Amino acid sequence: DAGITQSPRHKVTETGTPVTLRCHQTENHRYMYWYRQDPGHGLRLIHYSYGVKDTDKGEVSDGYSVSRSKTEDFLLTLESATSSQTSVYFCAISDPTQSGNYGYTFGSGTRLTVV
């Protein structure tokens, strides 16, 4: 659906364990983004990528790292999960240089619970 998939859809993990979330796109879009969504905070940018191996921090990057070794995959890693990282994580893609359209397409989200 919409050429972007996130995995897993749901995950429960224990405090202190590393967790990796995957975003996969088939649209060949240059830009990819990771957001977290929490009640009262809207969507907050964690990290983003503007090309293979090109990434940068967003508003709430502490405790997270990312990697993009291929155009189609953008991985988000929680290095040592904490309860404050319990959230819904959304990946998004865009490519204004390709389509002239600045809008994002979002994935379906990953609901992560840290216990």
Residue ranges of the alpha helices (H) in 4-106?
96-99
Stretch of 8-16, 17-25, 65-73, 98-106 contacting other proteins, by CB under 8 A:
98-106
Residue 42 touching other proteins (CB under 8 A): yes
Q: Please check whether residue 80 is in contact with residue 18, taking contact to mean a CB–CB distance below 8 angstroms.
A: yes
Compute the distance between CA of residue 48 and CA of residue 93 in angstroms, rounded to an integer.
10
Residue 75 touching other proteins (CB under 8 A): no
Compute the distance between CA of residue 56 and CA of residue 68 in angstroms, rounded to an integer.
11
Residue 17 Cβ, how far from other proteins at the closest point, in Å? 26
Residues lying near other proteins in the complex (CB under 8 A) are found at: 31, 33, 35, 40-45, 48, 50, 56, 58-59, 90, 94, 96, 102-109
